[in-house]
């Protein structure tokens, strides 16, 4: 769930070393550096994460609809009982676009509820919350510190 800009910056159309390519036994072996990166992470991921778990998580995401909890997204979000909420959008996130996060922050607003929306620019796309902590940490820490005073 990274961004196209990151892939282009990191890999472009760089090819793997010809000797490395020659060692491949596959008829359609790895030709480009990005393929090597993706293959490495696929092997790493499949060795540490149950594929069935991933299928269930993916299905749960597909089936969840906040409108099921009150008839509309607005009603569903109104049912959330929090006094404060932090919503963070990332400019390059294509899984949960920043516009969608901004809309959620707007819909979460209610009397007696403080909602903070922050949009961060990060080249890492959706995964930025996992790898770009230098951007996320201050926003989250500030929000939590302000909440400690409530």
First to last CA, the chain: 36
Q: Given pLDDT bands bounded at 50, 70 and 90, which one contains residue 150? A: low
Q: Is the pLDDT of residue 25 over 90?
A: no
Q: Do residues 36 and 85 both lie within one domain?
A: no
* pLDDT for 72: 92
Number of C-beta neighbours around residue 108 at 10 A: 20
Number of C-beta neighbours around residue 113 at 10 A: 14
- Structural domain harbouring 15: 4-48
* pLDDT for 116: 97
Domain count, the chain: 2
* pLDDT for 114: 95
* pLDDT for 5: 86
Strand pairing report for 84-90 and 114-120: parallel
Q: Is the pLDDT of residue 133 over 90?
A: yes
Under a CB-based contact definition with an 8 Å cutoff, are residues 128 and 92 in contact?
Answer: yes
* pLDDT for 18: 84
Judge whether 77 lies within some domain.
yes
pTM, entire model: 0.75
Buried b (16+ CB within 10 A) or exposed e, 57-91: eeeeeeeeebeeeeeebeebbbeeeeeebbbbbbe
Q: Do residues 142 and 83 both lie within one domain?
A: yes
């Amino acid at each position: 769930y990274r961004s196209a800009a990151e892939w282009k910056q990191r890999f472009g159309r760089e090819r793997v070393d010809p000797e490395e390519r020659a060692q491949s036994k596959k008829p359609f072996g790895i030709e480009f550096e990005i393929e090597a990166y993706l293959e490495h992470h696929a092997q790493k991921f499949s060795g540490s994460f149950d594929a069935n778990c991933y299928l269930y998580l993916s299905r749960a995401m597909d089936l969840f609809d906040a409108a099921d909890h009150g008839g509309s997204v607005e009603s569903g979000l109104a049912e959330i009982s929090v006094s404060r909420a932090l919503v963070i959008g990332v400019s390059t996130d294509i899984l949960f676009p920043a516009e969608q996060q901004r809309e959620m922050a707007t819909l979460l607003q209610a009397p007696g509820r403080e909602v903070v929306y922050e949009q961060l620019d990060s080249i890492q796309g959706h995964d930025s919350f996992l790898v770009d902590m230098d951007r996320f940490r201050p926003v989250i820490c500030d929000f939590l510190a302000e909440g400690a005073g409530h």
